[in-house]
Amino acid sequence: MIATHPSIKTNRKFKDQQYYKTDTDTYFLLPFRFHRLNEKREIIVNDCGDFLVVDRGMVEKIISKQIQPGDEIYPDLLANFFISEQPVPPLLNIMATKYRTKKSFLDHFTSLHIFVMSLRCEHTCHYCQVSRVSDNRTAYDMKRDHIDKGIGMMMRSPNPHVTMEFQGGEALLAFDNIKYAVEKAKEEAIKHDKQISFVICSNLALINEEILSYCKENDILLSTSIDGPAFIHNKNRHRLGNNSYELAVAGIRAAKQALGEDKVSALLTTSTLSLDYPQEIVDEYYKLGFRNIFLRPISPYGFAARNKERNFYSAGEFLEFYKKALHHVIAYNRIGEFYREDYTTIILKKILTPFPVGYVDLQSPAGMINNVIVFNYDGDIYASDEARMLAEMKDHTFRLGSLDTHSYEEIFYGEKARTFSDAWLNESLPGCADCAFQPFCGADPVFNYATQGDIYGHRPTSDFCHRNMEIIRYLFELMDNDKEVERIFRTWIKPNC
């Protein structure tokens, strides 16, 4: 509480520092968590994501109240809301605002609406979760009736800004339906006073002038896949003619030229083959004109899970790859080239800024339902993209219902959503609840279920936990050891980059 009214001072004699120190012989601990970063250093983190990296042994001193007001760290602990000189911290309101701000990605609820336009694809990527090679449009394309109903449900989202993402299979095989959906969604968005962004996910093999000019007219973003140089990409992404890489690169060039550099993005899927070529992959993205790369591990779903030889690797192997690739990206920055890694950037935003970061695959509450919903080609509704991939393996655990039979309320607030909500907060998951990295991490009930058999998961053996804890730990260590890296990292999180 703010104690006294700012009265006019009557005595203007200067007093010394001692007079302004709180007259107390102890301090009170505010909630925080801690973690050992390495042999020398440990970290303390509070719920708002404020953190201090300190020497080993400091946490014990703090907790056992051995810190003295004259110690260098004492004001740091006060200023960063780790201790308080009063039982109720005087700036409790400010802590509350900071916490609210960090979680305000929740304010508007679901934004990303994925429409699986077709399961059909002319690629047969060995890690693909979902696609079919087929000409049967009626069996594998989304029907217009379902498109209408999906748009209707999207318009029910409380979010004033929704994103409509077209996925496949290869979404462009159903380009007529995409056009239909865009026109319909634009009409409805006006009626419901919503802003709407469009994204088409495509391998770009089928891109042509007509599609590009339609994308330009409607400000549609293109998201594609590049797995690295041709020898990796074509090995991962099979296609008749073995020319996936050549078509994707040509597609990216054409799309960037037609739509602008910032309208085309690419995602990397890390296969077992990729693990040996971190530098080559980073260089490839740079060569293609990208100044960002998203180092993404393979999802443990779909064909990827069946094809273990080519796609199974441990979290440890991925981390080794990630670190090598990250160092190579950092090396570009050291010689003055802007180039960033996207996953790192997401985590850095959580660490280095006081702002909310809602990223569907790493947030708490989890992105499923709260931030993303999937309308499958057959009208079924899934809690996330991974959930429908699981469904392609005949596991319908995360099927929330159908566009034909379920209302908005039944989907978003129904029994299933409530069950999943038990496991979508890392604040309340065993292992996560005590973890220092909790504010920078997330929860993923679908991943837990797919890899460990239940939506809660078991942290000590979880790949999700292993991967994210090590990435976060590593980023802190890098910044602690090398201030130049910290400076480079700050350039990555600048707004509008």
Partner 1 sequence: MQLNTRGIPYYINKPLVARVTRNQDIDEEGNILITGDSAIHYLPKFSALLTGLPIAQLIPDKPAVYNVLSLDHLQEGDIVAINTDGIIQTLYRPGSKQNFLLFTERCNSNCLMCSQPPKNKNDGDYFYNIYSQLIPLLPTDCEEIGITGGEPTLLGDLFFQLLDQLKNHLPDTEIHCLSNGRTFAWREMTEQIASLNYERLMFGIPVYSDHAASHDYIVQAKGAFNQTMQGLYNLAAIGQRLEIRVVLHKQTIPRLKKLAHYIYRNLPFASHVAFMGLENQGYTPHNIDKLWIDPDDYMNELTEAAEYLDQMGMNVSIYNSQLCVMPERLWRFNRKSISDWKNIYLEKCAGCRLLNDCGGLFASCSEQHSKAIKPFL
CB of 329 to partner 1, least distance (A): 18
Taking the complex as a whole, the smallest distance from the CB of residue 50 to partner 1 amounts, in Å, to 7
CB of 80 to partner 1, least distance (A): 8
Distance of closest approach, residue 345 Cβ to partner 1, in angstroms: 14
* CA-based radius of gyration for the chain: 25
The residue (of 19 and 309) whose beta carbon lies closer to partner 1 is 19
Q: Which is nearer to partner 1, 16 or 415 (CB)?
A: 16
Q: Which is nearer to partner 1, 134 or 353 (CB)?
A: 353
Q: Annotate the chain with three-state secondary structure.
A: CCCCCCCCCCCCCCCCHHHHCCCCCCCEECCEEEEECCCCEEEEEECCCCEEEEECCHHHHHHCCCCCCCCCHHHHHHHCCCEECCCCCCCHHHHHHHHHHHCHHHCCCCCEEEEECECECCECCCCCCCCECCCCHHHHECCHHHHHHHHHHHHHCCCCEEEEEEECCCHHHHHHHHHHHHHHHHHHHHHCCCEEEEEEECCCCCCCHHHHHHHHHCCEEEEEECCCCHHHHHHHCCECCCCHHHHHHHHHHHHHHHHCHHHEEEECCECCHHHHCHHHHHHHHHHCCCCEECCCECCCCHHHHHCHHHHCCCHHHHHHHHHHHHHHHHHHHHCCCCCEEHHHHHHHHHHHCCCCCCCCCCCCCCCECCCEEEECCCCEEECCHHHHHHHCCCCCCCEEEECCCCCHHHHHCCHHHHHHHCCCCHHHCCCCCCCCCHHHCCCCHHHHHHHHCCCCCCHHHCHHHHHHHHHHHHHHHHHHHCHHHHHHHHHHCCCCC
* Maximum Cα interatomic distance, the chain, rounded to a whole number of Å: 89
CB of 64 to partner 1, least distance (A): 23
Q: CB within 8 A of 471, min separation 6: which ones?
A: 319, 322, 343, 344, 347
As to burial, measured by CB atoms within 10 angstroms (0-12 exposed, 13-18 middle, 19+ buried), residue 483 is exposed
- Interface residue list for partner 1 (CB under 8 A): 2-10, 12, 14-17, 19-22, 50, 75-76, 78-79, 90-91, 93-94, 97-98, 352-355, 487, 490-491, 494-495
Min. distance of Cβ 362 from partner 1 in angstroms?
Answer: 21
CB of 209 to partner 1, least distance (A): 39
What is the C-alpha separation between 173 and 177, in angstroms, rounded?
Answer: 9
We find the least distance from the C-beta atom of residue 349 to partner 1, in angstroms, to be 11
Question: Is 4 or 64 the residue whose CB approaches partner 1 more closely?
Answer: 4
C-beta closer to partner 1: residue 77 or 249:
77
Q: Which is nearer to partner 1, 97 or 257 (CB)?
A: 97
**Token digits of residue 451:** 């890899």
Q: Which is nearer to partner 1, 76 or 477 (CB)?
A: 76
**Looking at beta carbons only, is 52 or 281 nearer to partner 1?**
52
φ/ψ (deg, to 5) at 386: -65, -30
Tokens representing 331 are 């090396």
Closest approach, Cβ 305 to partner 1, in A, equals 42
What minimum distance in Å lies between the beta carbon of 23 and partner 1?
A: 10
Closest by alpha carbon to 383, among 366, 398, 371?
Answer: 398
Compare residues 96 and 139 and give the one whose CB is closer to partner 1: 96
Query: Of the two residues 50 and 284, which places its CB atom closer to partner 1 in the complex?
Result: 50
Name which of 273 and 352 has its Cβ closer to partner 1: 352
**Of residues 92 and 288, the one with the C-beta less far from partner 1:** 92
Q: Which CB atom, from 12 or from 191, has the smaller least distance to partner 1? A: 12
The encoded tokens of residue 174 equal 């159903």
Q: Shortest gap between Cβ of 48 and partner 1 (angstroms)?
A: 8
Report in angstroms how near the CB of residue 246 gets to partner 1 at its nearest: 40
Closest among 400, 387, 391 to 448, alpha carbons compared = 387
CB of 13 to partner 1, least distance (A): 9
